[in-house]
């Protein structure tokens, strides 16, 4: 029996166990090119929307280099994690404050499956682009301009040997 099923079938009514199972069942994978309309809306693929029925928050990712669409539960976990870090190291408080400032709760998909990207996020991360990459990032959706997506792809290609070396090093430690 796999770990997910054992958690479900263990008879535990712990909310934490159920949350971890729900998060583990997210399959926000894949990448798609979409246009952003003149009102700032972008289509989110049905495959992603189906997994985000319990509410979304449009924000930035924790690295603060792209727009992110979080399931509410995952966004709450990010805030808790950042809050714990701030308790240990007060100098990190601007990161939490900025993450909060750039987060927009109660966002919804419209009838056509589009979500409105708030103007401030569009100005900061998408500039005047009309094409974006909407991609799954395990537990959230990531949105970047076409230009930034292509730059990331080039950078990854040139760094892939270093990344493979790092993976090999980490595996040898286990």
Tens-place pLDDT, residues 28-68: 999 999 999 999 999 999 999 998 988 999 999 988 899 99
Q: What is the pTM of this model?
A: 0.78
What integer pLDDT is reported at residue 8 of this predicted model? 30
Q: Span 71-93, mean pLDDT?
A: 94
pLDDT tens digits, 92-109: 999 999 999 999 998 999
CA gap 113, 92 in Å, rounded = 36
CB 99 within 8 A of CB 78: yes
Check pLDDT > 60 for residue 114.
yes
CATH fold of 27-146:
Chemotaxis protein chec (3.40.1550)
What integer pLDDT is reported at residue 59 of this predicted model? 97
What integer pLDDT is reported at residue 46 of this predicted model? 94
Neighbours of 134 (CB within 10 A): 23
75-113: b (≥16 Cβ within 10 Å) or e = beebbeebeeebeeeeeeeeebeebeebbbeebebeeee
Q: Where are the domains of the chain?
A: 27-146
Instruction: Dig out the tokens for 54 from the structure.
Output: 């319990």
CB 143 within 8 A of CB 124: no
Check pLDDT > 80 for residue 118.
yes
CB 17 within 8 A of CB 125: no
Mean pLDDT of all residues belonging to the chain? 84
The closest alpha carbon to 102, from 134, 66, 136, belongs to 66
Of residues 99 and 5, the one with the higher pLDDT is 99
Of residues 109 and 155, the one with the higher pLDDT is 109
The helix/strand/coil state of 87 is helix
């Amino acid at each position: 029996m796999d770990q997910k099923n054992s958690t479900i079938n263990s008879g535990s009514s712990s909310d934490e166990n159920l949350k971890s199972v729900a998060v583990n069942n997210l399959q926000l994978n894949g990448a798609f090119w979409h246009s952003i309309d003149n009102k700032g809306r972008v289509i989110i693929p049905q495959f992603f929307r189906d997994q985000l029925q319990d509410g979304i928050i449009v924000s930035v990712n924790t690295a603060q280099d792209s727009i992110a669409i979080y399931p509410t539960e995952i966004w709450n976990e990010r805030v808790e994690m950042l809050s714990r870090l701030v308790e240990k190291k007060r100098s990190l408080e601007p990161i939490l404050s900025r993450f909060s400032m750039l987060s927009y709760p109660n966002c919804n998909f419209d009838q056509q499956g589009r979500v409105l990207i708030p103007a401030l996020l569009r100005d900061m991360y998408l500039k005047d682009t009309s094409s974006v990459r909407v991609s799954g990032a395990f537990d959230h959706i990531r949105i970047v301009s076409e230009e930034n997506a292509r730059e990331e792809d080039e950078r990854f290609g040139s760094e892939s040997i270093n990344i493979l070396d790092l993976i090999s090093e980490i595996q040898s430690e286990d």
